[in-house]
Structure formats: structure tokens, C-alpha cells
């Protein structure tokens, strides 16, 4: 009705008779200049869809929802999306007992510093994608009463909640969730995160889950079950305050993409893995450990890489790495390995006995071992004849043939 009234600044609906209205989704969306909205007497008891109701009302500083009856509501998707100027929001009047969809509900409410959800009934909610995404000023969020037993999607749920300092998710039920894509991405103020209660047995996509959590010092993933996981790319990228990480429970048998998985974890000294952390289905591991400058030892003996196409920059600038077991690495399917070990200046030995670079174009063999001044390299000169011209003279090459 008023959607896309870009220049509308004031609106009084107090005399509207809405007792028989059944559809209001998107009613005030993109009223971008609206600063005053009077909703007193607004009857909504017959409404089931509240999606996009106030979406992109960028200048509204408050919304009075005291007259709202949302007992029949099933969707609140994007209801307050891009309400950039709202500094406080009383949602205690909202009955959410029948709501199924809360995707993007508060996304980009960039001025809200707190949100009281203590009365929210989320027992039927299946969709929570980016529910709190881009709430840049949000500092406190109590989800202790959240019931997530019906939830099927938590992707991007807290992404860019960059002021959020703590988050208690101990009561979250996650056994039905198939993806946790970008769930905590760029939560740059979080220092600890205990996810020991998480059941991730059905999660397929973990990509970008903790990407950019630059202040995260502790992360408990002891309960993580990754047996169905297919994607882990950028999962821990730029978590540059983490000093140790235990992923010994991780099973990566079906993971096809680990690009930049630990890239930029510059403080990471200890990475605990197990034999279940393997490359059985892996196709991409570009920049996987790039800039892991504090990592001293890494055992990837369980990786055979028979299907991996991209290995370029995989260990680039791992300058403290003294021990690296990649003895079972194959390059049968490899398309690119340039800069793979470049900058591994502390590495003293490397066994690449199964490397065969004969099918890799010269341009993708660039700088593989540059700055590896201490390195003794074991390879097959016959199978890697096209790689030899790119090996610096200070690298000692031991031929297995």
C-alpha cells in the first residue's frame, strides 16, 4: 500500500480500520524517508504474513508495536530488515508461537545495541538464516530461552555482529541443521565460543563459519561431528588470535573443498588432527594454511590428495613450520601448485616422493620452494623434470630414482 513511497516522511494510520485485513506483507517497505509512523489501533489479528513489513525504513528510530496481535503469524521474514536508524525496539508484544520463518528478521538493524528476546517463542521456527546478521552495534544478546529444536537453517545467523562480546548457545539444538555457512563470520569482538553442545551430524556446509573472528582466543569444537560435511573452505580464515585448535574429532572423508580453511591464522601454534582428517574426496586446498606463521608442526600424512586440483599457496608463508608430513601427497589431478611451499623458511626436510608434475603447465609451477633456504627436498627428478628449473639453488634436492 505504501511500499516504495521513498519521499514519505510522516504517516498516521490510527484511523485506519484494519480489522478485516489479511495481507500487510511489505506494506511500509522502502519508505526510506519515513521518520514518524503512528500504528495505534492497527489490527493485525487475521494476519499470518508479516514479512518485509518495515523493511528498509531506514530513518525510523522507533516503532510502536503495542497494538499488534501476531498470534496467527507464520512468517516474519525481513520484518525489520535494514531498519538502520532504530536504536530501541520493544518486541514484547509480538506473539511468535506459530512463526516458522524468521530469516533476516533483524538483519542490518545497525543501530540497535541490545535486543530483549526473553519472551520469544521459537519452538516452531525452521528458518533463522541471517536473523541477526549485520547488527553491527549489538553488544548483548540473551538466547538462553531460545528453542531451536525445529530449526533447519542457521546460516549467517550472527554474521557481522562485530560488537557482540559474548554468546551463550549452550541450549541450542542443532541436530537438524544442514548448513552453518557464515554463522559467526566477522564476529570480531568474540573472544571465546563454547559450542560443545552443538550436534553437527547433519551439517554439510561449514564454509566461512568462523571467518574473520579476529579476536577469538578459544573455540571448543569437541562435540563436532563432520561425517557428512562437504565444504569447509574459509572455515577458520583470519582467526588470527587462536593459538591452538583441536579438530581431532573432525572426519573430512567427504569434504571436497578446504580452500583457505586456516589461512591467516597467524597465531596458531598447535593444530590437533587425527587420521579421520583426510583428503579422500578433496578437490581444492588452495591457500589452506597460507600465513599460518606460528605453526611449528603439521602432520598431514593421512592426505593422499589424489583428486586435488588446486594446491597453490597451500603452505605459503608458514615461516615457523619445522616439520611437515605430506609424504603421501599425490599430484595426479593437480592443475596448480605455484607458491605451494613458498616462504617456509624454517622447513628442513620435505618428502614429495609421490609428486608427478609432468602434466602441470610451467606457469603453475612458479615459486613453489622460494625462500625455503634450509630445505632438503626428496622428489623424483624424472617425474618432476619440468619442476626442477623452478627450484632455487639453495634447496638441496635428493632424487628417489
Place of cell 611451499: 341
**How far is residue 276's CA from residue 198's CA, in Å, rounded to a whole number?**
19
Give me the pLDDT at residue 19, please.
87
Give me the pLDDT at residue 401, please.
77
**How far is residue 336's CA from residue 330's CA, in Å, rounded to a whole number?**
13
Give me the pLDDT at residue 357, please.
98
CB 296 within 8 A of CB 324: no
Q: Which of 293, 294, 286, 295 is nearest to 314 (CA)?
A: 286
Going across the sheet that includes 349-351, the strands are: 349-351, 376-379, 396-399
Give the rounded percent of residues in the chain with a pLDDT score beyond 70.
100
**How far is residue 205's CA from residue 222's CA, in Å, rounded to a whole number?**
18
Give me the pLDDT at residue 120, please.
94
Give me the pLDDT at residue 374, please.
98
Give me the pLDDT at residue 366, please.
97
**How far is residue 45's CA from residue 22's CA, in Å, rounded to a whole number?**
9
Q: Domain-by-domain residue ranges, the chain?
A: 1-173
Give me the pLDDT at residue 14, please.
87
Q: Which residues of 354-379 are buried (b: 16+ CB within 10 A; e: fewer)?
A: bbbbeebeeebbebbbbbbeebebbb
Residues in the chain with pLDDT values less than 50: none
pLDDT, averaged across the chain: 96
Give me the pLDDT at residue 265, please.
98
pTM for the full predicted model: 0.96
Decide: helix, strand or coil at residue 264. Answer: coil
Decide: helix, strand or coil at residue 265. Answer: coil
**How far is residue 113's CA from residue 136's CA, in Å, rounded to a whole number?**
8
> How many other CB atoms sit within 10 Å of the CB of residue 119?
12
Give the rounded percent of residues in the chain with a pLDDT score beyond 90.
95
Amino acid at each position: 500500500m505504501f511500499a516504495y513511497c521513498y519521499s514519505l516522511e510522516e504517516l498516521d494510520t490510527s484511523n485506519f480500520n484494519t480489522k478485516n485485513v489479511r495481507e500487510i506483507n511489505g506494506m511500509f517497505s522502502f519508505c526510506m524517508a519515513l521518520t514518524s509512523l503512528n500504528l495505534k489501533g492497527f489490527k493485525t489479528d487475521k494476519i499470518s504474513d508479516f514479512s518485509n513489513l518495515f523493511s528498509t525504513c531506514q530513518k525510523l528510530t522507533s516503532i510502536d508495536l503495542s497494538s499488534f496481535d501476531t498470534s496467527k503469524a507464520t512468517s516474519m521474514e525481513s520484518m525489520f530488515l535494514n531498519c538502520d536508524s532504530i536504536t530501541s525496539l520493544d518486541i514484547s508484544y509480538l506473539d511468535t508461537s506459530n512463526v516458522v520463518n524468521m530469516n533476516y528478521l533483524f538483519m542490518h538493524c545497525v543501530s540497535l545495541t541490545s535486543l530483549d528476546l526473553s519472551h520469544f517463542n521459537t519452538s516452531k521456527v525452521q528458518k533463522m538464516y541471517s536473523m541477526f546478521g549485520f547488527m553491527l552495534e549489538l553488544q548483548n544478546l540473551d538466547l538462553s530461552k531460545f528453542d531451536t529444536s525445529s530449526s533447519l537453517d542457521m546460516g549467517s545467523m550472527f554474521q557481522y555482529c562485530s560488537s557482540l562480546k559474548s554468546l551463550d548457545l549452550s541450549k541450542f539444538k542443532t541436530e537438524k541443521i544442514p548448513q552453518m555457512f557464515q554463522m559467526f563470520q566477522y564476529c570480531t569482538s568474540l573472544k571465546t565460543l563454547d559450542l560443545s553442545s552443538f550436534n553437527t551430524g547433519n551439517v554439510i556446509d561449514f564454509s566461512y563459519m568462523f571467518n574473520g573472528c579476529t579476536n577469538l582466543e578459544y573455540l571448543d569444537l569437541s562435540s563436532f561431528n563432520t561425517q557428512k560435511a562437504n565444504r569447509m573452505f574459509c572455515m577458520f580464515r583470519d582467526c588470527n588470535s587462536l593459538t591452538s585448535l583441536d579438530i581431532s574429532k573432525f572426519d573430512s572423508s567427504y569434504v571436497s573443498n578446504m580452500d583457505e580453511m586456516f589461512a591467516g591464522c597467524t597465531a596458531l601454534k598447535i593444530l590437533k588432527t587425527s587420521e579421520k582428517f583426510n583428503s579422500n574426496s578433496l578437490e581444492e586446498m588452495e591457500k589452506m594454511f597460507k600465513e599460518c606463521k606460528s605453526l611449528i608442526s603439521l602432520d598431514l600424512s593421512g592426505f593422499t590428495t589424489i583428486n586435488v586440483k588446486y594446491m597453490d599457496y597451500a603452505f605459503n608463508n608458514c615461516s615457523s613450520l619445522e616439520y611437515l608430513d605430506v609424504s603421501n601427497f599425490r599430484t595426479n589431478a593437480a592443475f596448480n601448485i605455484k607458491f605451494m611451499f613458498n616462504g617456509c623458511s624454517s622447513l628442513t626436510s620435505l618428502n614429495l616422493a609421490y609428486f608427478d608434475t609432468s602434466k602441470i603447465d610451467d606457469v603453475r609451477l612458479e615459486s613453489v620452494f622460494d625462500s625455503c633456504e634450509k630445505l632438503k627436498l626428496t622428489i623424483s627428478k624424472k617425474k618432476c623434470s619440468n619442476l626442477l628449473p623452478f627450484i632455487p639453488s639453495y634447496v638441496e634436492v635428493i632424487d628417489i630414482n
